[in-house]
Structure 1
Amino acid sequence: MNVEEIRSEQHFNDVLASSSDVLIDFWASWCGPCKSMTPVFEQVANEKVAELKAIKVNIDDIPSLAQKYGIRSIPSLLLLKNKLVTSEHLGAASKSDVIEWLNEH
């Protein structure tokens, strides 16, 4: 699997430092739409493994990251290029919708 679960803010910073393009899934274990996005996110990560690093951030485990990125609803996908947010996708979506969104950015 090409999705890395972030365990701490330091771990997150290490990933950002080592990858130019990062796709982040902000989620929580109690969130139904987040659970439906998990297989979609994993499929997208597998397809885009050559282009970007895919990571998941549980907002309950690391609320500081959710706050830092202004996450107000989940699931939220953020695309970062060179550590800067270039695009955001809110809510559950199909694999084709996520791929299309990524291809546009």
Structure 2
Amino acid sequence: MTDPHVVCPHCSAVNRIPASRMGAGKCGKCGVALFPGKSIELTDENFNRQISRNDLPVLVDFWATWCGPCRMMAPVFEQIAAQKQNVLRVGKLETEQSPQTSARFGIRSIPTLILFKGGREVARASGAMSLADLTRWLQQQGVH
């Protein structure tokens, strides 16, 4: 991979990171760590830039605060964010606070996970998963 573009989780500035430094580095605009080891908050306002300008695949968890399975899956999602930060961007979009994006992707049940590559949806899964199941699903999608 040539030097990929990584979107800052804080200010959404696009940064070019040398492939040898994946998993490290700070945003050239705001100075925040580009690889925080946790999921990033996605909204109607920052969603398109985070999805379309990241050269890394982006896994999005569409969830809601009142959803029991969503809350059960939250720790698993954070583990994936920490484990795969060098190869995968992980974001959470709260469906009730970002209704435009939720409607755009036809979210009917939650949690729903969508994997994006190159700005396009490549895979979707609904329902809570264990860490082993989510890891296996990502591997099936070519994220190792």
Aligned to 1:101: 137
Percentage of matched positions with identical amino acids: 38
Which whole-Å deviations, capped at 9, do the CAs of 1:11-54 have from their partners, x for residues lacking one? Answer: 11221233131000000000000000100000011111111110
Q: Is contact 1:19-1:52 (8 Å) kept?
A: no
Aligned to 1:9: 44
Structure number with higher relative contact order (C-alpha < 8 Å, ≥ 6 residues apart): 1
Q: 2:99 & 2:52 partners in 1: Cα distance? A: 20
Say how many residue pairs are matched: 104
CA drift at 1:76: 0.5
Which is higher, the Rg of structure 1 or of structure 2?
2
Report runs of 4+ in structure 1 exceeding 4 Å deviation. Answer: none
Which whole-Å deviations, capped at 9, do the CAs of 1:66-87 have from their partners, x for residues lacking one? Answer: 1111111000110000011111
Indicate the SS of the match to 1:9.
Answer: coil
Q: 1:19 & 1:54 partners in 2: Cα distance? A: 11
* RMSD (Å), alpha carbons: 1.0
Aligned to 1:67: 103
Q: Provide structure 1 residue ranges, at least 5 long, that are not aligned to the other structure.
A: none
- Decide which of 122, 125, 139 is 1:86's aligned counterpart: 122
Higher helix share: 1
Q: Give the alignment's TM-score, normalised by structure 1.
A: 0.93
CA drift at 1:89: 1.3
Higher strand share: 1
Q: 1:87 & 1:93 partners in 2: Cα distance? A: 15
Determine if the alignment matches structure 1 residue 19 to structure 2 residue 54.
Answer: yes
Q: Give the alignment's TM-score, normalised by structure 2.
A: 0.69
